[in-house]
Amino acid sequence: MQLSNTSQYAIRMLAYMADKKDSPLINATELAKVLQIPYKFLTKIMTELVKADLVVSMRGREGGYSLSKKASDIKVDDILNIFHDSIQEEQCVLGIGFCNGMCKCALHDQWMEPKLLLQKMFRESSLEDIAGKGCKI
């Protein structure tokens, strides 16, 4: 019951960038150092974020990354979707096929409420909402 490492890293990377909205570009070396994420793995993830159009990159000397849109327009769920970590409507906590609404599984009734709250949290939290909140980054 936890997000994948990749998703966790991506959220933290983007949240940090949102927090540093003054600096036009942020480079991978700084991110890896501050967030304690393996440099090579970070750049791999970042390239996916660029392809998914959440981030724009500038190559070459003095290059780096920046958010492609306003922090308030990037939701946590947008990030999870890239890595197939978003909670789907029919997702069963016991993983027995899909939910058809008629044929429930054993934990269905208790699962609905936290599932909705998680979906809400991911869909409604934007980078702006979480940037700079708390001391853990």
Query: What residue ranges bind a second copy (CB under 8 A)?
Result: 1-3, 5, 8, 11-12, 15, 76, 85, 87, 91-97, 103-111, 113-114, 117-118, 121, 125, 130-131, 133-137
Amino acid at 96: I
- Cα–Cα distance between 61 and 44 in angstroms, integer? 19
Note whether 93 binds ligand SF4 by CB under 6 A.
yes
Interface positions with DNA (CB under 7 A): 4-6, 9, 27-29, 38, 40-41, 43-44, 46-47, 50-51, 57-65
- Could you tell me which of 137, 37, 52, 121 has the C-alpha nearest to residue 87? 121
- The C-alpha atoms of residue 120 and residue 76 are separated, in whole angstroms, by 10
Give the whole-angstrom CA distance, residue 88 versus residue 99: 10
CB closer to ligand SF4 out of 111 and 128 = 111
Q: Residue 23 Cβ, how far from DNA at the closest point, in Å?
A: 12
The residue with tokens 């190559």 is 59
Q: How far is the CB of 23 from ligand SF4 (least distance, A)?
A: 25
